[in-house]
Chains A and B, each alone.
Chain A
């Protein structure tokens, strides 16, 4: 789920900046996912889409293209209120994937002793 080489490419090979970005994503991504779940509970589809838009660049930076596409589609459907019956299961799937991403990021940081 986590692609360190992609992240390093984004920050032009700056390993220290990559480490800083990893720490921030580990802090911020769970908060955004909580907000998304809250929005889902209240059936605020546009807000779900808006939060998907916000986390999309971070996912693109450090994960695989398929996850980015998944978030992009969730963003579009949320904002346009399309296929709202599928949104709850998709948010649940995204939650599992982001949890896995964070586990791998933490393991990567631990292995680099950052």
Chain B
């Protein structure tokens, strides 16, 4: 119980940018509001098109929720899968959760193939699944952060040890 509470605290403390990309303003609003509730320290930006999302990719969001069937009304606007590929090219550390009204294995496989972290179906359990999958993303990022910290500590320890050995060899011949 204590671990779960700590984990929820960790998730809620996560800051940085989160993008939500969907041409359905109703679903966009719903997702945006829900993310603001359990990631109160994150800055949530919403986009109705893939193009506007990619124009802001330099903000280096740690998470993007992206509609698979993103097409908009414009004939040449880019679809969700193409946006996913561009995101992974420009910002490889950004995790992407695909959103779709389609519960189709082919869609899931193609999303994962191009680097999506996971997939959420736009159904009655969408918000429950959203919470759970964002938790997975934050946990993964925490493990990566811990791993970086550990490497930095080991590097520091290594040079302290070398320093001590050098001093010892000078003092004692």
Query: Chain A's nearest CB lies how many Å from the CB of B135?
Result: 15
* Contacting pair B26 A24 (CB below 8 A): yes
Tell me the minimal C-beta distance from A50 to chain B in angstroms.
Answer: 7
**Do A12 and B24 have beta carbons less than 8 Å apart?**
no
> Is the pair A28, B101 in contact by a Cβ cutoff of 8 Å?
no
Check if A28 sits within 8 Å of B124, measured CB to CB. no
| B60, CB-defined interface residue at 8 Å | no
Interface string of A20-31 (1 = CB under 8 A from B): 110011001000
Q: Tell yes or no: B30 within 8 A of A by CB.
A: yes
* B interface, size bucket: 20 to 34
User: Contact check: which of A53, A58, A60 meets B69 at CB < 8 Å?
Assistant: A53
B120 to chain A, nearest CB (A): 12
- Count A-B pairs with CB separation below 8 Å: 47
Q: In residues 1-30 of chain A, which contact B (Cβ within 8 Å)? A: 6, 9-12, 14, 17, 20-21, 24-25, 28
Tell me, yes or no, whether B12 is within 8 Å of chain A by CB: no
Q: How large is the interface on A (under 10, 10 to 19, 20 to 34, 35 or more residues)?
A: 20 to 34
A58 to B126, CA, bound (A): 13
Contact with A along B51-84 (1 / 0, CB 8 A): 0000000000000000001010100000000000
Contact with B along A48-65 (1 / 0, CB 8 A): 001001101110110000
CA distance A14 to B38 in the complex (A): 13
* Given contact pairs A24-B26, A54-B23, A56-B101, A10 touches B124 in the complex (Cβ within 8 A): yes
Task: Point out the residues of chain A lying under 8 angstroms from B149, CB to CB.
Answer: none
A11 to B128 alpha-carbon distance, docked (Å): 9
Instruction: Give the distance in Å from the alpha carbon of A16 to the alpha carbon of B107 in the complex.
Output: 33
A interface SS class: helix
Interface centre among A14, A54, A60 (most CB of B within 10 A): A54
Hey, which chain A residues are within 8 Å of B33, CB to CB?
A: 14, 17, 20
Partner of B29, one of A9, A24, A56: A24
**Complex CA distance for A35 and B23, rounded to whole angstroms:** 15
Q: How far is the CA of A61 from the CA of B101 in the complex (A)?
A: 12
Within 8 A of B (CB), among A43-91: 50, 53-54, 56-58, 60-61
Q: Is the CB of A12 within 8 A of B128?
A: yes
Q: When the two chains form their complex, are residues B29 and A58 in contact, meaning their CB atoms are under 8 A apart?
A: no
Residue pairs across A and B with Cβ atoms less than 8 A apart, 28 shown, are A9-B124, A10-B30, A10-B126, A11-B30, A11-B127, A12-B34, A12-B127, A12-B128, A14-B37, A17-B30, A17-B33, A24-B25, A24-B26, A24-B29, A25-B26, A28-B25, A28-B26, A35-B73, A50-B71, A54-B24, A56-B101, A57-B27, A57-B101, A57-B122, A58-B24, A60-B123, A60-B124, A61-B124
| CB neighbours of B27 from chain A (8 A) | 57-58
